[in-house]
Amino acid sequence: MAIKNLSIIGTDIDTLTAACEFALKQMSISVKSFFIDNKQHAIVFKETTNEEDPGRFPIDVTPVILREVIWRFLEQQPDDVYENLLSGYEEDWSKAWDLFVPDWYSKDHGIEHYDICSVLACKPTIVEYGK
């Protein structure tokens, strides 16, 4: 039985690689294209594509390719994307990522242009440290 929903949060590239590998294998998905959801600051991966799709992958997407695309996306996010997630009560925090199955209805994992072919997404988040 394949996993239908997940959310994995991490802070480093090695964990992101493992998360991508887990998601692709356990969810039995084949990523064909992606788009950027600017409202949610997320990169969304789809199982379908067409020839005009600017986010179309010309080759099969492996966990390493998926990780590289996500990592580059995260590196391009301005600091204020992370800072806007802070409540002001954090003792200490780190930049992090959230790899998840997108939906159209939830506050945390909803995306602006959801369609049934949207199978995986990643967005910046924070990990809080404290007492």
Q: Which amino acid is residue 1, in one-letter code?
A: M
The pTM (predicted TM-score) of the whole model is 0.87
User: Which of the 8 DSSP states describes residue 40?
Assistant: T
The DSSP call for residue 56 is: B
Q: Which residues pair with 34 in a beta bridge?
A: 45
Contact criterion met (CB below 8 Å) for 41 and 77: yes
pLDDT digits (tens, 9 = 90+) for 25-78: 988 888 999 988 887 889 989 888 777 778 889 889 999 999 999 999 999 999
Q: Sorting pLDDT into bands at 50, 70 and 90, what band is 2?
A: low
Question: Which range, 7-21, 41-55, 92-106, 116-130, has the best average confidence (pLDDT)?
Answer: 7-21
Contact 81, 95 (CB under 8 A): no
Residue type, 57: F
